[in-house]
Structure 1
Amino acid sequence: MTMSQKCYALLVGINEYHPQSVGVTPLKACLNDVEAMQNLLEKQYVVPTTYIKTLLNKQATRKNIIQNFREHLTANADENTTVLFYYSGHGSRQSLPKAFQKYVAGTSREHRREETLVCYDSRARIGNRWIEKDLADKELAILIKEAAQKNAHIVIILDCCHSGSGTRSKTQTLSQEIQKREVEERAIQDALHRNYLDNYYEQMWEEKGEITLPNSPHILLAGAQKDQSSWETMMGGKRRGVFTYYLEQALLQNPHLTYAELFSLINPRVIGFTEKIYRYQNPQFETYHFFNAHSHFLTGATTSENRKLYGTKMVRSEWRIEQGEVHGLASAETNPTIEWAVYENPKDEGPVALAKTTQVGLDYNVVEVLKGSLNPDQNYLAELRSLPVQQLAIGVNLNPPPADLASPLFKLTEDKTANEQLIIDQEKDNYTITREGIKLVTGKYDSVSRVSKLERIARWHRILDSYNAQPQLFHYEDFPLTFKVVGDDMLAKTVINAQDTLELTSEEGKYFPKQEQRKEENTWAIPYKITAQNLSEYEVYFMLLHLDPFYGIEVYYNGSIPAKTNEIVLAEGYGLFPDEQLTPTIDRFKLIVSTRELHSYLFTQKDIREGFNKPTKRTGQKIPDDWLAKVLEVFTTKK
């Protein structure tokens, strides 16, 4: 596969740490992992050797990692470049300064931690002095921001532990030597005096009196969750990291996978393998600031077809597809003909099986294979083929509707009262999409692209409208969601029940002085903060979605929240901007509360405008799956 754009990679692997390191055991698979990743890049993606920089063992000092990130990745970054940072080695955690704790749920010492990469020299002690510090996740965020400012496509892959609570010993399991990639946390100052990279946060604190984290477009593929261990063992005849091995194997079989497809394939394989050796490792997959999870690995390219494929696997003797109630899928009783086509690879011309939904769960649905056969030890990808009861009605001005615009997600109708309307000229050269009479987008007619946009509209409505009418455990009043205008205590709204609204008036220059108005829209911006509470007796997961008026969806927060959490910041926005086309402009914020962790990439999507760029452990208590959702609609109008 030839890359459609340049790719610069920095690959870091550490088996042997500084001889004076304290509490760090050597690893055996990290150099093999780096070698495998380098071969994958050179042979499968034809990345020139000179574009790949490796730092192995004693080369991987803290200073060298930072310097090479800036000089090899950021210096070569531009809008036609992918930058890849890969790390294989020990991971750890350390105490979190108070200035950052508003972003963390829970008040215990265990919760107030930040993740770190253990560099070659960051645990070495000479006399009474540590010679270096770990590379903290908030420092990596600074490096990512620098590359993102040059509009690069940024990919971060970390195969290390994100927990600091486990041992570092080797154990024998099923005749295989298994080893964790983690070290215990190092005692450091519990205040903002540890000198983060370039004193970035310290200077921000002195200038503004508060800390905000960089939020740059990138994707994170990590070997384990924050409270888990990442394992290495013998795989394929070599010592390998479990996560990197399955990542490499999936991309060797199909280099054209999207990030979402890649994760759907490797996640169950890593979980399944580690469960067999009596361990548990659940990879982490997160997109940040409108990074498109449905673009292709490394290239960032998106196909005109824009097909949505969902992971399919055997769980407890039943086939499950990763679409459920929280994604807006109605029950099998309400919608008895939900049908799927199942593929081995996204590029396959035809499916290997056809299936029908028999049961809809919180975040999955159970299917019965009607035609073809599936291997229980293999993972697949499924495409929705029929959803008749839940099709969104979209008006169209042509009779009959164009046959090339068929989709299981929507149906075209002559109904002129439908909120969304598709207007096509008689020559089928141009089209316009409107909502309630307001023109949203217009352009050249192309059936494949039009279907993609209309499906995004239908999917947006399905996710917005999904709710649980009868939660078993939860009560809406236990999860207050509060929207506040920064600098104006009178403008706030707390959502107690399932839905509420807030009306705002944007006044030019009210919140941002002239020197802060870097862009025209900033003169009308309304700065905001969104917080929430978990007053229940259960540890839960919060996911905060932003559904914008042009049908884009972004995940603003996704994480576990301990029981009795008084308040946590879910989002801090530079500002809501009223759009010239839409009066008022309606931004919707949806909080999903669930007993199960949800994957962000199954919710996110780009809006329908062409070429537009937008500015912990579960408790041991056995509880049933449950969820609820509440929505705040914010109406913004110019004064």
Structure 2
Amino acid sequence: MDRPPPPTHHAILVGVNYYESQPLYGAVDDVLDIQDFFVKSIPSAQIQTFTATANDDPDFPDFPGPIEEKQHWPTTGNVYRALCGVTKEAKRRDAVYIHFSCHGTTVEDKDSPNGRKLALVLLNDKGKDTYFWGKMLAMRIKEMTEKGLNVTLVLDCCFSGSTTRDQLIRWLPADPDVARASGFYDEAFLHEQESATSHMRDVDMTEDFMIKNTEQYALLVASGPDQEAAEVKMIGSDKCNGQLSRLLLDTLKTRKDLERDIYDIYSRVCFGFEHNQLKQHPILFGNERLPFFGGPITYLRSTPSSYHPAYFEVKVEGTDGLLLQAGKAQGISDGDEFELYPSTSTTDENRPDSIIARVSKATAFNSVLEMVGATLENLKGWTWKAIIRSQAALRKFPIRLSSGVPDNDAWLVELRKRSLDAFVSSQHTESRDFFFSVDLEDSLFTFRDSDGQKVPNIPVLHSSQPNIREMSDLLEHLVRFHHVKDLKNNEALGTFGNSFRVEAFVNTEASDHATGIGGKRQVDTSQVISIGHNKKAEIIIYNETSHDLYVSVYNLSPQWGVVNALSETFTKVAAKNGNGYPKMIRKPFKMRVPDGMLQKGDTSCEDILKIFVTSHPSWMYNLQLPKLDAYPAFGESPRRHSDPFKVEENWTVMSLDFRTTL
């Protein structure tokens, strides 16, 4: 008899209702519901579930600990063994899903950049509270990604140090005695040799849960660092669920939904939070293009190019029209066109056709849309998403094609599909400005800038290799890169442009006596910052205002990539005179000349860090581009949560230029 094939999907589900001091009511149901869904949708998945249910039997009121058998308790030992077991048994490219529904807490830690470290509140083998440190979980996940596993981690607990103590809030105040008893590893068998690995990598700023190999890892947390993750009771039922777990499960309706990327799942979950007016905002870290729990990404809408589309939420404002939940801060401008399509899950027969809409007025974080060939009546009864169809701003970077480029008329048609302004060189176009030119020299395509200099780090392309569509992909990529590079707000209201302060430091071989900072030297952020290959640097961003700010950092790499350097949607910096969350963020990173450039003999490179600062939680995913290391590889969104007070919508952006040299 043939043996069944080994599993390719592995899940570890942890739900804790039982706590002596502050029990939860929906955490166990969270993971049992998700377990049932996986059993039905992926029968071959290997699932390990650990739960702690409080005893509610009146005949045994003093029953100690959870009612489950001890081998199924969510102890640090059981969870640790499960993580190690999956790492050992799973094969390269297997998918791993890890879900924690429990209390979270934070403990002061002077060595942490933000002054605190996170712990998940689990149990020991006596049913007492103990801390499963974030650092320990991160090390286990790091081992999984190094083995080539694709990991999705969901934390339905508070990701903060809030002092709220509502019984439906998934946060517990840190107990020093529990922290001391937990140590770094809670039980004796966990005392193995662990190296405190650096979390700094090629212009990437990460800590604790921010795993080095973000290409194979995604983390979805229930709330921002300053918010509480709450439970909610189901209408007409005594059943409770964590808000993230419930909306995530509602989003995952079928096996096909599991073949979406994590960002598509995230955007639809965020819409559920906003639609239900929930006062928390989930955050996504890591690789937003990772398939959710493995499998091929089959749910991708066709676009004119290989550019990965961003999904924007569209709000129907009664009879007043449509409001796109993105604006100038995301590079949207008047005249941009979007394709709207219904995002509510239903049968194809009932799904309305897509609708074209155009931006009539873009503001800081929203854009007013006017429909093309449709009315508001066409939109009723559905929720709608939008993807960019054409962007007016891209036309600011005209492309000149040499008359020697074959089939240049076909090039013009393809480039204009992508909102690009292009023309063929002739005596009639000699006076026209251009940003890039494409020439054919010795049967090789050559790309030059407006000064006639060759554009660096472009693959060598023979005229017989790429087709027109692939060449247009490459040109669109270059234009989108420069669109992000030039993005700025010339209309920042009042003093918002001075609402934050950035300090930058580079490591030195010895202590800097001038600054008094051991091993670091402060540098002028208005000048190009010189740094050695593989040397560490650090930026510190301070809030200089009386209201909260939200920060996103993107690295514009020498290989034409636009990469989220924080590996998270945004980071909050609290009001200067406020209470609680830090008034500054400290982000370490490492600069290096990319391997591909080193192999070509290059000894230096230039990076740009774009620091976006906004008055509201915001995201910039649509600005991202993959690196252009090798040409073959080339070739639903959140709304803001309700604020306790009105803050004027505004945003600004700052650029830091780095030159890295061997």
Output the amino acid matched with 1:540.
L
Q: Does 1:528 align with 2:527?
A: no
Separation in structure 2 between the aligned mates of residue 357 and residue 123 of structure 1, nearest angstrom: 60
Structure 1 pair 540–309 and aligned structure 2 pair: CA distance change class (3 A) = closer
Indicate the residue corresponding to 2:243 in structure 1.
Answer: 242
Q: Does 1:632 align with 2:656?
A: yes
Alignment equivalent of 2:479, drawn from 458, 461, 477: 458
> CA offsets, 1:3-24, max 9 Å, x none?
9x93221122233x2xxx4312
The structure with the larger Rg is: 2
Separation in structure 2 between the aligned mates of residue 531 and residue 199 of structure 1, nearest angstrom: 35
TM-superposed deviation, 1:184: 3.8
Indicate the residue corresponding to 2:326 in structure 1.
Answer: 323
Indicate the residue corresponding to 1:383 in structure 2.
Answer: 387
Output the amino acid matched with 2:315.
M
Higher strand share: 1
Structure 1 pair 283–470 and aligned structure 2 pair: CA distance change class (3 A) = same
Structure 1 pair 264–478 and aligned structure 2 pair: CA distance change class (3 A) = closer
> CA offsets, 1:391-425, max 9 Å, x none?
23334443225234543343344469855455679
TM-superposed deviation, 1:167: 2.9
SS for the counterpart of 1:551 is coil
Output the amino acid matched with 1:284.
I
Equivalent residue pairs, number: 561
Q: Does 1:571 align with 2:588?
A: yes
8 Å contact from structure 1 (residues 156, 221) kept in 2: yes
8 Å contact from structure 1 (residues 409, 458) kept in 2: no
Q: Does 1:155 align with 2:159?
A: no
SS for the counterpart of 1:99 is coil
Alignment equivalent of 1:97, drawn from 86, 109, 112: 109
8 Å contact from structure 1 (residues 556, 570) kept in 2: no
Indicate the residue corresponding to 1:271 in structure 2.
Answer: 274
Indicate the residue corresponding to 1:394 in structure 2.
Answer: 399
Alignment equivalent of 2:100, drawn from 69, 78, 87: 87
8 Å contact from structure 1 (residues 484, 529) kept in 2: yes
> CA offsets, 1:542-598, max 9 Å, x none?
222111122212223331112337753223226455834567521001111111112
SS for the counterpart of 1:587 is strand
8 Å contact from structure 1 (residues 543, 559) kept in 2: yes
SS for the counterpart of 1:41 is helix
Structure 1 pair 343–532 and aligned structure 2 pair: CA distance change class (3 A) = same
Indicate the residue corresponding to 2:284 in structure 1.
Answer: 285
Indicate the residue corresponding to 1:502 in structure 2.
Answer: 528
TM-superposed deviation, 1:252: 1.6
Separation in structure 1 between the aligned mates of residue 140 and residue 620 of structure 2, nearest angstrom: 23
Indicate the residue corresponding to 2:357 in structure 1.
Answer: 355
Separation in structure 1 between the aligned mates of residue 317 and residue 181 of structure 2, nearest angstrom: 48
Output the amino acid matched with 1:270.
F
Alignment equivalent of 1:296, drawn from 284, 291, 296: 291
Separation in structure 2 between the aligned mates of residue 554 and residue 320 of structure 1, nearest angstrom: 28
Separation in structure 1 between the aligned mates of residue 280 and residue 488 of structure 2, nearest angstrom: 30
Separation in structure 1 between the aligned mates of residue 460 and residue 293 of structure 2, nearest angstrom: 31
8 Å contact from structure 1 (residues 546, 588) kept in 2: yes
8 Å contact from structure 2 (residues 224, 283) kept in 1: yes
Indicate the residue corresponding to 1:166 in structure 2.
Answer: 164
Structure 1 pair 346–239 and aligned structure 2 pair: CA distance change class (3 A) = closer
Structure 1 pair 283–377 and aligned structure 2 pair: CA distance change class (3 A) = farther
Indicate the residue corresponding to 1:561 in structure 2.
Answer: 573
TM-superposed deviation, 1:265: 1.7
Separation in structure 2 between the aligned mates of residue 474 and residue 454 of structure 1, nearest angstrom: 37
Structure 1 pair 241–454 and aligned structure 2 pair: CA distance change class (3 A) = farther
8 Å contact from structure 2 (residues 94, 150) kept in 1: yes
More displaced stretch, 196-205 vs 235-244: 196-205
TM-superposed deviation, 1:620: 4.1
> CA offsets, 1:467-507, max 9 Å, x none?
11132243545533233221155964333xxxx3315374x
TM-superposed deviation, 1:166: 2.7
8 Å contact from structure 2 (residues 607, 657) kept in 1: yes
Separation in structure 2 between the aligned mates of residue 7 and residue 550 of structure 1, nearest angstrom: 34
Separation in structure 2 between the aligned mates of residue 180 and residue 35 of structure 1, nearest angstrom: 20
8 Å contact from structure 2 (residues 342, 384) kept in 1: yes
Output the amino acid matched with 1:99.
D
8 Å contact from structure 1 (residues 433, 439) kept in 2: no
Alignment equivalent of 1:493, drawn from 520, 523, 529: 523
Structure 1 pair 624–22 and aligned structure 2 pair: CA distance change class (3 A) = same
If asked which structure has higher relative contact order (CA below 8 Å, sep 6+), I would say 2
8 Å contact from structure 2 (residues 542, 583) kept in 1: yes
Output the amino acid matched with 2:294.
T
Separation in structure 1 between the aligned mates of residue 441 and residue 340 of structure 2, nearest angstrom: 37
Alignment equivalent of 2:624, drawn from 579, 582, 604: 604
TM-superposed deviation, 1:341: 0.9
8 Å contact from structure 2 (residues 542, 585) kept in 1: yes
TM-superposed deviation, 1:99: 0.9
> CA offsets, 1:430-476, max 9 Å, x none?
96766641351246425555554444333322222221113224354
> CA offsets, 1:156-199, max 9 Å, x none?
11223335533343xxxxxxxxx443444323588999325767
Separation in structure 1 between the aligned mates of residue 660 and residue 399 of structure 2, nearest angstrom: 26
Structure 1 pair 574–384 and aligned structure 2 pair: CA distance change class (3 A) = closer
Counterparts of 1:165-314 in structure 2, within 5 Å, are: 165-169=163-167, 179-188=168-177, 194-196=183-185, 204=196, 213=208, 215-216=211-212, 217=214, 218-226=217-225, 227-234=227-234, 239-252=240-253, 254-255=256-257, 256-273=259-276, 275=277, 280-287=279-286, 291=287, 293-299=288-294, 301=296, 305-314=306-315
Indicate the residue corresponding to 2:505 in structure 1.
Answer: 484
Structure 1 pair 456–363 and aligned structure 2 pair: CA distance change class (3 A) = farther
Separation in structure 1 between the aligned mates of residue 521 and residue 339 of structure 2, nearest angstrom: 49
Structure 1 pair 586–63 and aligned structure 2 pair: CA distance change class (3 A) = same
8 Å contact from structure 2 (residues 120, 132) kept in 1: yes
8 Å contact from structure 2 (residues 109, 117) kept in 1: no
Q: Does 1:410 align with 2:424?
A: no
Alignment equivalent of 2:552, drawn from 536, 543, 561: 543
Separation in structure 1 between the aligned mates of residue 383 and residue 280 of structure 2, nearest angstrom: 17
Q: Does 1:66 align with 2:80?
A: yes
Name structure 1 gaps, 5 residues minimum.
105-111, 126-131, 170-178, 507-523
SS for the counterpart of 1:542 is strand
The alignment's TM-score, normalised by the length of structure 1, stands at 0.76
Structure 1 pair 505–183 and aligned structure 2 pair: CA distance change class (3 A) = closer
Separation in structure 1 between the aligned mates of residue 486 and residue 523 of structure 2, nearest angstrom: 21
Indicate the residue corresponding to 1:144 in structure 2.
Answer: 141
Name structure 2 gaps, 5 residues minimum.
53-67, 199-205, 513-519, 577-581, 634-639
SS for the counterpart of 1:143 is helix
Separation in structure 2 between the aligned mates of residue 38 and residue 584 of structure 1, nearest angstrom: 51
Percent sequence identity over aligned pairs: 17
Separation in structure 1 between the aligned mates of residue 471 and residue 37 of structure 2, nearest angstrom: 36
SS for the counterpart of 1:252 is coil
8 Å contact from structure 2 (residues 342, 352) kept in 1: no
8 Å contact from structure 1 (residues 321, 367) kept in 2: yes
TM-superposed deviation, 1:68: 0.3
8 Å contact from structure 1 (residues 543, 593) kept in 2: yes
Output the amino acid matched with 1:563.
A
> CA offsets, 1:604-636, max 9 Å, x none?
3321233899xx999744220111111011123
Indicate the residue corresponding to 2:60 in structure 1.
Answer: none
Q: Does 1:585 align with 2:599?
A: no
Structure 1 pair 425–621 and aligned structure 2 pair: CA distance change class (3 A) = same
Separation in structure 2 between the aligned mates of residue 69 and residue 86 of structure 1, nearest angstrom: 12
The alignment's TM-score, normalised by the length of structure 2, stands at 0.73
Structure 1 pair 504–82 and aligned structure 2 pair: CA distance change class (3 A) = same
SS for the counterpart of 1:483 is strand
Output the amino acid matched with 1:152.
L
Q: Does 1:48 align with 2:44?
A: yes
Separation in structure 2 between the aligned mates of residue 180 and residue 503 of structure 1, nearest angstrom: 45
Structure 1 pair 457–133 and aligned structure 2 pair: CA distance change class (3 A) = farther
Indicate the residue corresponding to 2:201 in structure 1.
Answer: none
Output the amino acid matched with 1:587.
D
